[in-house]
A and B are shown apart, each in its own frame.
Chain A
Amino acid sequence: MFEGKYVVALGERDGVPGPTITEVLKAAGANVVSQVTECFV
Chain B
Amino acid sequence: MSSNPVVKAYAYMLIHTPDFVRYGSKPYREIIKSPELAERIAGHLRPFEDALSYPPNQVFLGSLHPEDLAATPEPWWKHPVAGATGEGAYGRFMDQEAFYAFLKASDQFDLVWLTPEFTQRVRRRIREHPLAAEVDLSSLGEGKAIEIIRQAIEKEGSLALYHQGEVVGSFQRHHDEDESLQAHILMENLTTKASGALVVRELIKRAGIAPEEPEYILSCSEEAVGDRYNRGGGNMAKAVGEMCGMINASGSDTKAFCAGPIYAMVHGASLVKAEVFEKVIVFGGGCMAKLGMKFAGHLKHDMPVLEDVLACIAFLITPDDGKSPIIRLDSVGKHNVGDGSSQQEIMTSLVVKPLERLGLGITGVDKIATEMHNPEVTVPQGSGNVPLNNYKLMGALAAIRGEIDRTQIMNFVKEKGMPGFSPTQGHIPAAVPYLGHAAEAMDRGQMKRALFVAKGSLFLGRMSQLSDGMSFVLEKNGGA
A13 within 8 A of B: yes
Query: Are A41 and B467 closer than 8 Å at their CB atoms?
Result: no
A20 within 8 A of B: yes
Assuming the contacts A14-B343, A15-B343, A18-B465, asked whether A41 and B383 have C-beta atoms less than 8 A apart, the reply is: yes
Chain A residues near B467 (CB, 8 Å)? 13, 17
Query: Are A39 and B341 closer than 8 Å at their CB atoms?
Result: no
Chain A residues near B457 (CB, 8 Å)? 13, 37, 39
Query: Are B373 and A41 closer than 8 Å at their CB atoms?
Result: yes
Q: Give Cα A16 to B343, complex, Å.
A: 7
B96 within 8 A of A: no
Q: Which residue of A lies closest to B465 (CB)?
A: A19
Q: Give Cα A36 to B341, complex, Å.
A: 13
Q: Give Cα A14 to B454, complex, Å.
A: 11
Q: Which of A14, A36, A38, A41 has the most CB of B within 10 A?
A: A41
Number of A residues near B (Cβ < 8 Å) is 14
Query: Are A41 and B459 closer than 8 Å at their CB atoms?
Result: no
B358 within 8 A of A: no
The residue from A14, A19, A20, A36 contacting B384, defined by CB atoms under 8 A apart? A14
Query: Are A17 and B424 closer than 8 Å at their CB atoms?
Result: no
Chain A residues near B455 (CB, 8 Å)? 13-14
CB contact list, B424-459 vs A, under 8 A: 424, 455, 457, 459
Q: How far apart are A41's CB and chain B's nearest CB, in angstroms?
A: 5
Chain B residues near A19 (CB, 8 Å)? 341, 465
Query: Are B341 and A14 closer than 8 Å at their CB atoms?
Result: no
Q: How far apart are B325's CB and chain A's nearest CB, in angstroms?
A: 28
Query: Are A37 and B383 closer than 8 Å at their CB atoms?
Result: no
The residue from B381, B389, B424, B465 contacting A14, defined by CB atoms under 8 A apart? B389
Q: How far apart are B429's CB and chain A's nearest CB, in angstroms?
A: 8
B386 within 8 A of A: yes
B460 within 8 A of A: yes
Query: Are B459 and A36 closer than 8 Å at their CB atoms?
Result: yes
Chain A residues near B465 (CB, 8 Å)? 17-19, 37
Query: Are A14 and B460 closer than 8 Å at their CB atoms?
Result: no
Given A17-B465, A18-B459, A19-B465, output 20 extra A-B contacts at Cβ < 8 Å.
A13-B457, A13-B467, A14-B386, A14-B389, A14-B390, A14-B455, A15-B343, A16-B342, A17-B341, A17-B459, A20-B341, A36-B459, A39-B457, A40-B378, A40-B381, A40-B382, A41-B371, A41-B373, A41-B378, A41-B386
Where the two chains meet, the residues of B that have a C-beta atom closer than 8 Å to any C-beta of A are 258, 341-343, 371, 373, 378, 381-384, 386, 389-390, 424, 455, 457, 459-460, 465, 467
